[in-house]
Amino acid sequence: MGEDKSRRRWLAPALFVSLALNLLVAGVFAGVVLGDGPPHRGAEKHGGDPSFPYIRALDDAQRGALRESFRRSLQEGGEDRSARRARFVGGYEAAARVLRAEPFDRAALARAMSEQAERAAARRTRGQAVLVEFLAGLTPEARAAYADRLEAEIARFGDR
């Protein structure tokens, strides 16, 4: 029984950290697309997201156009930015409530984290679809130039 309590003590924090990392990856992709461009230099050293080379290979104009495409895609989903933000924050608030509740409900925490992970995965999938659609719309010359920059990004990752 003591072993079970010990396991429970680290299980919730481990699940929370795992979810946080998943959300970080999805958030970084969305932040790169919706924000001001690629992550700061050296960010890929910290676990790196597989989308980084794709995003970093875009030139500034392409990154801006992709950002707009992603925003339109989210708007077409019928939910405005404030509603998405409220749902994002609400997921963490729900997890915090479960963590404070006595008796502790492991299943409720797992559900809250699972729901957050599902939303993050859906957003990442949407971002990937927007990126594919964007790249498919480039001229052959622009795609070739993009491929050159992508190969340069891959080489940078390989050098680390």
User: Which whole number is the average pLDDT over 38-62?
Assistant: 68
- Greatest mean pLDDT among 39-53, 74-88, 133-147 lies in 133-147
Does 79 have pLDDT greater than 70? Answer: no
Q: What is the 3 state secondary structure string of 26-74?
A: HHHHHHHHHCCCCCCCCHHHCCCCCCHHHHHCCCHHHHHHHHHHHHHHH
Residue 74, burial from CB neighbour count under 10 angstroms (0-12, 13-18, 19+): buried
Domain ranges of the chain: 2-77+123-158
What integer pLDDT is reported at residue 4 of this predicted model?
A: 61
pTM: 0.59
pLDDT of residue 147: 94
Region 12-40: what's the mean pLDDT? 50
The pLDDT confidence band at residue 75, using thresholds 50, 70 and 90, is: confident
Q: Specify whether the CB–CB gap between 60 and 37 falls below 8 A.
A: yes
Instruction: Name all contacts of 83-87 with Cβ < 8 Å and 24+ positions apart.
Output: 87/119
Chain segment 86-145, per-residue pLDDT in tens:
888 888 999 999 999 999 999 999 999 999 999 889 888 988 999 999 999 999 999 999
